[in-house]
Every structure is written in C-alpha cells, then in structure tokens.
Amino acid sequence: MSRLRRLTGWLTTVDHKRIGILYGVSAFAFFLIGGIEALLIRLQLAFPRDSLISAETYNQLFTMHGTTMIFLAVMPLSSAFFNFLVPLMIGARDVAFPRLNALSFWIFLFGGIFINASFLFGAAPNAGWFGYANLTSKTFSEGQNLDFWLLGLLVLGASSLIAGFNFIVTIVNMRAPGMTFMRLPTFVWMTLITQFLIILAFPPITVGLILLGFDRFVGTNFYNPAAGGNPLLWQHLFWLFGHPEVYILILPPMGIISEVLPTFARKPLFGYPVVIYSGILIAFFGFGVWSHHMFTVGLGPVADSAFSIATMLIGIPTGVKIFNWLATLWGGRIRFQTPLYFALGFISMFLIGGLSGIMHASPPVDMQQQDSYFVVAHLHYVLVGGSLFGLFAGIYYWWPKIAGRLLDERLGRVNFWLFFIGFNVAFFPMHFLGVMGMPRRIYTYAEGLNWELWNRTSTAGAFLLGVAILVFLFNALVSLRRGAVAPADPWDGRTLEWSIPSPPPSYNFAEVPIVKSRDELWAQKKGRRSAVPRSEASPEAIHLPAPSHYPIVVAFGIITLAAGALTHLWVSVAGAFLMIYGIYRFAFEYRSGAHG
C-alpha cells in the first residue's frame, strides 16, 4: 500500500526537485540506449566489409543515435538541472507553474518512449537526425519509420516549449528579494537564454514537421520537386531550428562550468557581466548562421559570405568566455576534485571542437569537409567534449545536493580519465578519417583505403567511453547505497542552494532569503555580514502546490493522439478527448477546491 502511494506520489508530483530527478533518471536511461546504438555503429565500422549489421539497420541506428542523444539525452539532462536548481539558486520555493512543469516532463517521457517504440515494429526512423527532404518522402520511405520520427519530434517540441515559457517566467518573476539580474548565478542566466532560444527556435521545425506530415499523410507536395516544391525549404526550416539547437545544447553546460570553476578556484567568476553578455550574443548570432549547414547546396556567394562571417563572429563571444574561465582559474587556490576535472575537460575539448568549427565557417573549406568524418569529429567534440563534459561536471558537483550523499572521489577520477582518454581515442581519429575522405553515414567500406587503423582505434575508444559510463553508474549506485552523508555545503559553495540541507526540504527555504551580493553565500560565510536570520515560523505553515494527476492525463492524451496517426483515426479521437478533458480538469482544478 505504501509502495503504491509512493508511486502515485511520483506520478502526481509537482515538486520541481522531484521532476528534476525524474528528468535526470529518464534522460540517463535514454542516454544509455543512445550509447548502445553508438557502440553497435562502432562495432560495424571496426572492420571493412563487415556484415554484423545490415545497411537498413545501420541507417536506423545512426538516426536514432543522433535523435536520442540530442532530444532525449542532452536536452533533458539540462532540463534536470534547470528543474532541480533554478528555484534553489534564485531563492524560490518552486517554479512559476508547477503543474505545467510536470506536464512538460510527462510529454517528454511519453514522446521518448514513442520514438523508441518504433524499434518494436522494426520501423525505427532511418533518414538521419536532420531528416533531409525528400529522403523523407512517401516515395522514398514507404514504411512508418519517419511517421514515428516526425510525430515524436512534434510531441517532444511541445514539451520543450511548455518548459521554456515556465522557466522564463520563473527566472524573471520569482527571484528572491535583492536578487537583481546582475546577481543571478551564471547557470540561471544561461538557462534563461536557453529558454528564449527554445521558444523561438522550435516553431520553425514544428512548421517543417507539419508540412512533412501533410506530405506523408495527405499527399501534399511541399517537398516534392516534381510538383514545383523545393527540398531546400525543409533545410531552411530545419536549420533555422537546428543551429539555435546547438546553443540550446551547449549554453547550459557553459553555465554549469561557470558555477564549478569559481567554487574550485575559490575566486569569483572573472568578468561576470562579460560572460553573461557573451552568452546573449552567442544566442543572438545563433539565429543568423543556419545556412552554414547548407554551403554546398549553392545559395550563391553573397549568402555564403554573409553566413560565413556571422559564423566566424560567434567565435568571438565564445572565445571571450574561454578566456574568462581561464582567468577565473588564474591565481586561484585550486582544489582538484572531480567536478573541476570535468570542467577543465570541457574547456580543452570544447576548444578543439570550436576550432574545427571555425574551419567549417569558411565555405571553401567546408565544401571539402561536408558529409565527411571530419564533421562527425567536430560535432562530437562540441557535443561530447563540450555538452557532456559540462553535464558530468554538473552531475558530480550537485550530486551531493540532489542525493544527499557524496560520490566517491577516487572512482570519480577514474571515471574522468577513462572518459577523457576514451573520448579522444574514439573521436580524434575521425579528423584523420574525414581528411582521408571517409564519408559519414556509410554502413561499411572497402579494404585498402587505409581507413582500417583509425576506424579500429575509434571503436576501441568508444568501448573505453562505455566503460567510463559503467564506472559512473557503479559510483552512483554505491553512493546511493552507502555513500557518506553529504553536508549542506560540501564544496564551500557560493550560491543559495548550498545554504539549505542536502537534499533540500520540500519547501526549499524555511524563510525566503534576502540577497545582497552576487556570491551571496560566500559573502555570508566570509563574515562580511551575518547570515539571513532564520524565522521561527514552522515549515508546516508554508503553502506548497498540491499534487495533481492531470499533467500525466493530458500527456497521455497527447501521445494517444499521436499514436492514432499510425493506427486508426478513432485512437486519435479518443486521445484528443482525453487531452481536452485533462486540460479542462487542469484549468478548473484550483477553482473547485482551496485557492492555489
């Protein structure tokens, strides 16, 4: 009975911390699935003319690897941090719309399961994560593979949009007294910028996917050249989303390491305002560079030059950030602990990915590298070397706060070095393979092209990466079972989340803090002024939002609606009714009972 009640508690929770944990656990599960797909890809490529995996399965694996890692692993891992940390860092008791927050999570989870369910029908998406038209047309892809893909991405987009509105309002409107914008922790700033990117970048891909859906389900000709349609329309709509998406993936980890570095260098972040402005500039320019993904389609010298210059411009605020991080370390009393290792890994590896990015910014160079393994190397240096290193820095940094227990420091370092070495062994050789002419997305290759050595090296590195992830899982399980109990402030932190117990109580702050400084907790601890006086008010008196089961009902309605498109109209109708019913009950929930 109590077990059932605990399960219901998780299903109906609107607590941002629990939702953060749900995001983290689900995203990590999807991350493991995406990782297994990557290992299968690497096994197939380890030997020339290998027949481990068929060409069709290979297409499904690389498509699902990309889709999973971007939409189901890295984005929701960032969401896990947004959810758990943003209210704590700004001194709030929850997000602005706790039930919408739960809705975002359940839509994400069901959408992720929906896309992956395609494997059960042998119909996993197979046109690449950017699904170029008109490979995606009914003519060239008859099965339901791409229907799963486009419906799943539409559903996931809704989840990201809802979360975007929620976090914008939370950050702008729920800051503790005295927490001005220029006192917001850098991670919160990067979160805010990311949400603006999400709400402005997702609509174009939504439209692109809707048009694709009309082409596939209704027989329109939006991407059909035979009827005057232009497949490049898809590329524009997709990359108008797709490039800002790159910053959606990298800005939150940049925020994370901007929190980790000052704590472990025991110095405030160097040039805080410049780091913030650089983040804003990166996001702003991010909307004006999408066609650098399209240099080879022949947009003409004027367009190519404009997008090339804009792309190189983005290197400036990015470089500024890197120098700010280095200057933060300079002269600090550095403590070498696992979060810092991963943060330094981020700076060095992201730098390599950034440099090869500058190379692609030049159209003549890009035309040589387009669709080669050089690009695969580049994107993994920014997404694994960048995003994932940053996210792991965050996991090691905030784990004690979230789990209430410490991770083992020695295992953490083993994890880091295996990850760092495995990552470089897996992806650095891809630069060579690209220059030697190996194209992306081929399921096998002939012997005698001199590609064998580097492919085999890369596969070995990928498995080393896999071992690193296993070490992390082991570390996490040991910590949860019998890790040392974490104090409130294990790292001598600077921000408000370290001022409350680990894990935080459901109401977060017994009394809402009054902020007078950028590194508020440091200012309190350094004794320049006394800590905020704790009130005697009992925590039971604090009003918290009540749990609700309508978020999961609405999300289930939405996914049923999507599933109906693949099965029968009546399933869609039932899903739509469930969704509408859920929305009405959701809207009137607070009006019937006590005031919310």
Partner 1 sequence: MIAEIHAGAHALPTSTGLDHRKMGFWAFLGSECMFFGSLIATYMVYKGKSPSGPQPHEILNIPLTSISTFVLLMSSLLMVLALAAVQRGDRLGAKLWLFGTPFFGSIFLAFQVYEFTTFVHEGLTLQVNLFGGTFFVLTGFHGAHVSVGVVWLLSLWVMALRNRLTPVDATIVEIAGLYWHFVDIVWIVIFTFVYLLQ
Matching residue, tokens 């200012």: 523
Our finding on whether 315 is near partner 1 (CB under 8 A) is: no
Please indicate whether residue 26 is annotated as part of the active site. Answer: no
Our finding on whether 334 is near partner 1 (CB under 8 A) is: no
**φ, ψ dihedrals at 485, nearest 5°:** -65, 135
Query: Which two three-digit tokens encode residue 276?
Result: 């913030």
Query: Which two three-digit tokens encode residue 261?
Result: 């570095």
Our finding on whether 572 is near partner 1 (CB under 8 A) is: no
Q: DSSP state, 518?
A: T
Please indicate whether residue 318 is annotated as part of the active site. Answer: yes
Q: Which of 23, 108, 202, 285 binds partner 1 (CB under 8 A)?
A: 202
Of 481 and 595, the one with the shorter C-beta distance to partner 1 is 595
Of 164 and 429, the one with the shorter C-beta distance to partner 1 is 164
| Catalytic, out of 141, 159, 170, 263 | 159
Residue among 26, 192, 198, 183 nearest 95 (CA) = 192
Of 116 and 548, the one with the shorter C-beta distance to partner 1 is 548
Matching residue, tokens 């009914």: 138
Please indicate whether residue 137 is annotated as part of the active site. Answer: no
The residue range among 28-36, 174-182, 368-376, 411-419 that interacts with partner 1, by the rule CB under 8 A, is 174-182
Q: At a CB cut-off of 8 Å and minimum separation 6, what does 403 contact?
A: 479, 480, 483, 486, 502, 503
Interatomic CA distance for residues 137 and 546, integer angstroms = 46
Please indicate whether residue 129 is annotated as part of the active site. Answer: yes
Of 222 and 307, the one with the shorter C-beta distance to partner 1 is 222
Question: Is residue 286 within 8 Å of residue 196, measured between CB atoms?
Answer: no
Our finding on whether 298 is near partner 1 (CB under 8 A) is: no
Query: Which two three-digit tokens encode residue 573?
Result: 């109708």
For residues 70 to 99, the per-residue mask of contacts with partner 1, x marking binding by CB under 8 A and - elsewhere, is --------------------------xx--
Please indicate whether residue 236 is annotated as part of the active site. Answer: no
Q: Which of 1, 4, 228, 541 binds partner 1 (CB under 8 A)?
A: 228
For residues 178 to 197, the per-residue mask of contacts with partner 1, x marking binding by CB under 8 A and - elsewhere, is -x------------------
Q: DSSP state, 177?
A: T
Query: Which two three-digit tokens encode residue 314?
Result: 């983005």
Of 61 and 237, the one with the shorter C-beta distance to partner 1 is 237
For residues 450 to 469, the per-residue mask of contacts with partner 1, x marking binding by CB under 8 A and - elsewhere, is --------------------
Shortest approach of partner 1 to residue 407 CB, angstroms? 35
| Catalytic, out of 106, 149, 247, 491 | 247
Please indicate whether residue 247 is annotated as part of the active site. Answer: yes
Question: Is residue 310 within 8 Å of residue 288, measured between CB atoms?
Answer: yes
What are the E-state strand segments in 129-265? none
| Catalytic, out of 15, 37, 94, 304 | 94
Our finding on whether 220 is near partner 1 (CB under 8 A) is: yes
Interatomic CA distance for residues 113 and 72, integer angstroms = 10
The residue range among 141-149, 233-241, 290-298, 548-556 that interacts with partner 1, by the rule CB under 8 A, is 233-241
Our finding on whether 172 is near partner 1 (CB under 8 A) is: yes
Please indicate whether residue 543 is annotated as part of the active site. Answer: no
**Distance between start and end Cα atoms, the chain:** 29
Interatomic CA distance for residues 50 and 443, integer angstroms = 9
Our finding on whether 227 is near partner 1 (CB under 8 A) is: yes
Our finding on whether 595 is near partner 1 (CB under 8 A) is: yes
Q: Which of 16, 17, 42, 175 binds partner 1 (CB under 8 A)?
A: 175
Interatomic CA distance for residues 528 and 121, integer angstroms = 64
SS3 530: coil
Interatomic CA distance for residues 556 and 106, integer angstroms = 8
Question: Is residue 107 within 8 Å of residue 162, measured between CB atoms?
Answer: yes
**Residue 329 CB neighbour total at 10 angstroms:** 18
SS3 353: helix
The residue range among 62-70, 207-215, 271-279, 309-317 that interacts with partner 1, by the rule CB under 8 A, is 207-215
Residue among 190, 422, 407 nearest 317 (CA) = 190
Our finding on whether 161 is near partner 1 (CB under 8 A) is: yes
Q: Which of 12, 57, 206, 296 binds partner 1 (CB under 8 A)?
A: 206
Number of residues that bind partner 1 (CB under 8 A): 40
Interatomic CA distance for residues 503 and 386, integer angstroms = 28
| Catalytic, out of 79, 170, 258, 387 | 258
| Catalytic, out of 104, 160, 459, 548 | 160
Interatomic CA distance for residues 168 and 170, integer angstroms = 5
Q: Give residues in contact with partner 1 (CB under 8 A).
A: 96-97, 161, 164-166, 168-169, 172-175, 179, 199-204, 206-208, 210-211, 214, 218-222, 227-230, 233, 237, 240, 584, 591, 595
Active site residues: 65, 94, 129, 159-160, 243, 245, 247, 258, 292-293, 318, 321, 440
